[in-house]
Amino acid sequence: MATKFELEDVVKNGTAGNGNGSRHSARTHDDPATTSDAAAVTLADANVQEIYAELLKRLGEDPTRDGLQQTPKRMEKSMAFLTKGYEESVAEVLHGALFDVDYDEMVIVRDIEFYSLCEHHLLPFFGKAHIAYVPQGKVVGLSKLPRIVDVFARRLQVQERLTQQIAEAIEDAIAPQGVGVVIEAQHLCMMMRGVEKQSSLTVTSSLRGVFKTQLQTRSEFLSLVRAER
């Protein structure tokens, strides 16, 4: 059952649904039918822009003032872009970009910029991902590695899971001898609120195959990640 969600303007002005005012007729709190009708208004009845407008109201703002009239529309568009990873898949990204190559040395792409949203506070975290793998007869087109990062970064995330998902995707796609992923990121949920630490850096890693079992391979990867830019 949908959570009860009183949208006063929706009930009063009939603005639910597609924004054309066709779903609910205009009513006031003096209308005897208002109480039962208001109870029937749920999150499922409101469109995304109406929910954002209600959020602005609950923050103490007036969504009808000049600077905010188009904000719900912009918020909907922005959030759709920031979470577009839900509509993408690694299989689509890698289609036609896997190649048979007789090469068994390390391939590394570092300093891949990414931006994501922390699922705990819906605040951004951002930084760089470093990816390496040792092929086993098959390689990935180099431009596809940053795109794999974006597939998972453009979702509500935690950094630890993001790191693992990138490594798993490469492992599943080409079955390399090993894969290593290191992510360095700053989290606005730590910088703008909470402990408010501006210089902290969170580092996570996922090491698989030879990156986990062979010290020399792991050390080479980590030294290349730390090398002077």
Q: Active site residue: 76, 121, 164, 186, which one? A: 121
216 catalytic? Reply is no
Please say whether the beta carbons of 58 and 127 come within 8 A.
no
Residue whose C-alpha is closest to residue 139's, from 170, 182, 185: 170
Q: Active site residue: 8, 29, 87, 120, which one? A: 120
**Residue owning tokens 């007729």:** 25
Residue whose C-alpha is closest to residue 185's, from 139, 123, 103, 106: 123
Amino acid at site 133 = Y
Tokens of 33: 């039918």
Q: Active site residue: 118, 157, 165, 177, which one? A: 118
187 catalytic? Reply is yes
Q: Active site residue: 24, 165, 177, 187, which one? A: 187
Please say whether the beta carbons of 128 and 184 come within 8 A.
yes
- Give the pairing of strands 107-118 and 124-134: antiparallel
118 catalytic? Reply is yes
121 catalytic? Reply is yes
d(CA 79, CA 194): 24
Q: Active site residue: 24, 49, 54, 159, which one? A: 159
Q: Active site residue: 136, 168, 189, 220, which one? A: 189
119 catalytic? Reply is yes
Amino acid at site 131 = I
Q: Active site residue: 6, 8, 113, 119, which one? A: 119
For the chain, counts of helices (H) and of strands (E): 10, 7
**Residue owning tokens 């490469």:** 170
Q: Cite the active site residues.
A: 118-121, 159, 187, 189
